[in-house]
């Protein structure tokens, strides 16, 4: 089953919305610090509504902690970035893929991008738009992955 990883997320409602998406799909969510908020933040909780009990949440204080956890479980790290090498919808996903997303302002840090097995991008028609909202990007990437793996039937 694919997993979602947020590295240094900054905006509580985005993370709350992503947690809700992960709860609805049974997808594990990994948060990698430092976070731009406390896990007890009311905006985070409100965006996730009353679904937090269904979120399979893992918190890693540092990138090094996350990399150790990933190494213990294996699977490819797929970094979503506007400068990715592969269109996310044409990429072939595998069951144990980890979908990585960076902060709302900086994206994935260079030290994580260099460790990704592949980088993916979500095409946009308007060149003046830098990126999509983080929670939208996660939903788009996760649902394409799930579609290809047969989880939407």
Q: What is the pTM of this model?
A: 0.94
Distance in angstroms (rounded) separating the CA atoms of residues 63 and 80: 16
* pLDDT recorded at residue 112: 96
Query: In this structure, what token pair is assigned to residue 53?
Result: 């009990």
The distance of Cα 84 from the centroid of its chain, to the nearest Å, equals 15
Has 122 been labeled as part of a binding site? Answer: yes
Query: In this structure, what token pair is assigned to residue 120?
Result: 């993916």
Give the pLDDT mean for 65-87.
Answer: 96
Q: Where are the domains of the chain?
A: 3-148
Query: In this structure, what token pair is assigned to residue 31?
Result: 């948060």
Rg of the Cα atoms in the chain:
14
Asked whether the beta carbons of 77 and 109 are under 8 A apart, the reply is no
Distance in angstroms (rounded) separating the CA atoms of residues 47 and 80: 23
Show Cβ contacts of residue 66 under 8 Å, excluding neighbours closer than 6 positions.
5, 7, 30, 32, 60
* pLDDT recorded at residue 44: 65
* pLDDT recorded at residue 127: 85
51-64, pLDDT tens digit by residue? 888 999 999 999 99
Assign domain 3-148 one CATH number from 3.40.1280.10, 3.40.50.300, 3.10.110.10, 1.10.150.120: 3.40.1280.10
Asked whether the beta carbons of 109 and 34 are under 8 A apart, the reply is no
């Amino acid at each position: 089953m694919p997993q979602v990883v947020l590295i240094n997320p900054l905006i509580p409602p985005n993370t709350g919305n992503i947690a809700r998406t992960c709860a609805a799909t049974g997808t594990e969510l990994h948060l990698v610090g430092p976070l731009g908020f406390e896990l007890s933040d009311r905006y985070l909780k409100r965006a996730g509504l009353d679904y937090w009990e269904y979120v399979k949440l893992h918190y890693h204080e540092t990138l090094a902690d996350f990399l150790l956890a990933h190494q213990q479980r294996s699977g490819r790290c797929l970094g979503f970035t506007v400068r990715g090498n592969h269109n996310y919808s044409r990429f072939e996903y595998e069951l144990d893929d980890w979908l990585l997303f960076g902060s709302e302002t900086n994206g994935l840090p260079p030290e994580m991008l260099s460790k990704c097995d592949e980088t993916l991008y979500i095409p946009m028609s308007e060149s003046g738009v830098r990126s999509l909202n983080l929670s939208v990007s996660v939903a788009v990437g996760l649902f394409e992955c799930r579609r290809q793996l047969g989880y939407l039937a």
